[in-house]
Amino acid sequence: MKDKKFLITIDGTQFGEDEEDKVSLSTFGNFYKKDNVYYITYEESAATGFEGDVTSLVIDSDRMVTVNRTGVSNTHMVIEKGIRHMSHYTTDFGDIRLGIRADKIENQLNDNGGQLMLRYTLDIN
Q: Per-residue pLDDT tens, the chain, 125 aa: give them.
A: 456 789 999 888 888 778 888 888 889 999 999 999 999 999 987 766 777 789 999 999 888 999 999 887 788 999 999 999 999 887 778 888 999 999 999 999 998 899 999 999 888 86
* DSSP secondary structure of 2-53: TTSEEEEEEEEEEE-SS-EEEEEEEEEEEEEEETTEEEEEEE--GGGT-TT-
**Residue 69 backbone phi and psi in degrees, to 5:** -120, 130
- Domains in the chain (CATH in brackets) are 31-124 (2.40.128.20)
Q: According to the model, what pLDDT value does residue 44 have?
A: 81
